[in-house]
Structure 1
Amino acid sequence: MTTYEKELADQLAQRYPELPLPQMIAKLTEIGVIDYSRCKTLSVREYVNALVRSGCKKMDAMWKASEKFACSYEYIRKCMYYYKDINLC
C-alpha cells in the first residue's frame, strides 16, 4: 500500500469503525472515491471469468452475466473486451 492508501484506510477506520467491508465500499462509492462504473466492469469481468474457470464456455458465461446483471449482451461484451485495464489481480 502507498502512504496515501494507508492514510485513507486509517482515517476511514477511525471515522467508520463499525462499518463492515461491504458498507465501507458503498460509503466510498457514495462520496465519490470509488469509480462506480469501473466497479461494475470489474464485477462483470470477475463473474464471467469465474464461470469460465468452472468449465462454462465464454460466450455462455457472458450470456449468463447479461441475465444476472440485467443488462445487454453488448454491455457484457464491452466489459470483457474493451476495458482491458480493469482486473482484480
Structure 2
Amino acid sequence: MTLTVYDKQLIGEVERMFPGHHAGEVVERLIRMGVVDTVRCKVLVVREYVNELVGRGTGKVDAMYMAAEKFCCSYEYVRKCMYYYKEVNLA
C-alpha cells in the first residue's frame, strides 16, 4: 500500500505531538482523541487472535468460538471479522 499525502502528514503530526513516546502510549492517546477507527481495530484484533490460535494448531471454528468468548462478543461477530471484512486492508 502506498502512503498518501494525508497519511504522510498524519505520521508527521503524530511524531510532533508525541515525541519520544512508546507505540502503546501513542495509540492510547489517539484512541482517546477519537481519531482511530475502532471498528477496524476490533476486526484486526479478532482476526489476529483467531489466526494465532489456528497457527498453533487449534481448529478454525474452535478458535473463532474462543475469540467470541475472549472478546465477549457473538460467534457471528467473529465470523464477520474473519469473512465479511476482507477488504479492510489489514495486511
Task: Confirm or deny a common fold (TM above 0.5).
Answer: yes
Alpha-carbon distance in 2 for matches of 1:64, 1:87:
24
Alpha-carbon distance in 2 for matches of 1:59, 1:17:
42
Q: Aligned pair count?
A: 89
Which is bigger in relative contact order (C-alpha 8 A, separation at least 6)?
Answer: 1
Q: What corresponds to 2:42 in structure 1? A: 40
Per-residue deviation, residues 32-78 of structure 1 (Å, max 9, x unmatched): 32210111011101110111122110001001101111111111112
Q: What corresponds to 1:55 in structure 2? A: 57
Alpha-carbon distance in 2 for matches of 1:88, 1:55:
23
> How many angstroms does 1:87 deviate by?
4.8
Q: State percent identity of aligned pairs.
A: 51
Range moving further from structure 2, 20-29 or 64-73: 20-29
Range moving further from structure 2, 6-15 or 61-70: 6-15
5+ long unaligned stretches in structure 2:
none
Aligned pair partner of 1:71 in 73, 78, 91: 73
Q: What corresponds to 2:6 in structure 1? A: 4
Backbone CA RMSD of aligned residues: 1.7
Alpha-carbon distance in 1 for matches of 2:56, 2:90:
18
| TM-score (structure 2 length as normaliser) | 0.82
Alpha-carbon distance in 1 for matches of 2:56, 2:89:
18
Alpha-carbon distance in 2 for matches of 1:80, 1:35:
18
